[in-house]
Amino acid sequence: MDVIVVGIIAVLIGALLCFRGYVTMRLVISLFGAFAGFMLGFGLFAGNSSGAGQVALSWLAGIVGAVLFGLLAYFSYQLAVIIGMAGIGFTLGTSVMAMVSSASSFLTLTVGVIAGVLLAILAVTTNLPAVLLVVLTALAGASVATSGVAMLVGAMTLDRLTSQGFTQIPGGIGWTVLYLALAVLGLISQLRAISGRHRSMRQQWGSSRLVAPAH
């Protein structure tokens, strides 16, 4: 049941990040931060034991992490940049490692952490432009959504997700095709939505809303 719930959440948040990541930046970064916080909290207490007490503690830690990260990301631009971009960088780093190599979980996590730190620093120091943000959110959202689908069909376990990075694309050409298809569709959708608008990350974060304004 745990993996089904997390899989559904991953699909929903991943799809929103992939298709509306830039347009609804404040909402999406907050939800993505909450998801990252949940996976971090859940992973800290999730283990091999399946006892009711351990399961309850894992869920409680996950919920606390989700609320904390989500609220911090929503109310503070600087923290939103750090949490959101670090999460996106980590997602992309671990996803690339999963697709191109059979590296150990330690190496995969290390690459993810380095990518997350570098992207967060880049975002804070340069105020990322619209096109780059569209590319990053589409790629990261496609990865999250693909991982969610994999959990729903039993191709990925929750233990693997929490031990090797909170999103990873399973091996196999089919999963890679799904990821690339979602990423391309997300790019097209977002680029159409921002046509004629070239706001920076800070400008879009302050004015974003659920539906893109009419041109």
**pLDDT for residue 162:** 56
At which residue do the structure tokens 């909170």 appear?
A: 166
**pLDDT for residue 211:** 43
The SS3 assignment for 198 reads coil
At which residue do the structure tokens 């939800």 appear?
A: 31
* 201 within a domain of the structure (yes/no): yes
Q: Which domain holds residue 168?
A: 2-207
Relative orientation angle of helices 77-100 and 130-152, to the nearest 10 degrees: 60
Confidence (pTM): 0.78
* 215 within a domain of the structure (yes/no): no
Cα separation, 17 vs 141, whole angstroms: 5
Question: CA 72 from chain center: how many Å?
Answer: 16
For residue 202, give Cα distances in angstroms to 17, 74, 144.
17, 13, 24
**pLDDT for residue 54:** 66
**pLDDT tens per residue across all 215 residues of the chain:** 678 888 898 899 999 999 988 877 778 888 888 888 887 777 776 654 555 666 678 778 888 988 998 888 888 878 888 888 888 888 888 888 777 766 667 787 788 889 989 988 888 887 777 788 889 899 989 988 998 898 888 887 776 665 555 556 777 788 889 999 999 999 999 888 877 666 667 666 666 654 444 44
Count of domains observed in the chain: 1
Which run of H or of E encompasses 34?
helix 25-45
* 212 within a domain of the structure (yes/no): no
Relative orientation angle of helices 130-152 and 25-45, to the nearest 10 degrees: 40
Cα separation, 12 vs 212, whole angstroms: 19
Both tokens of 43, joined, read 């992973």
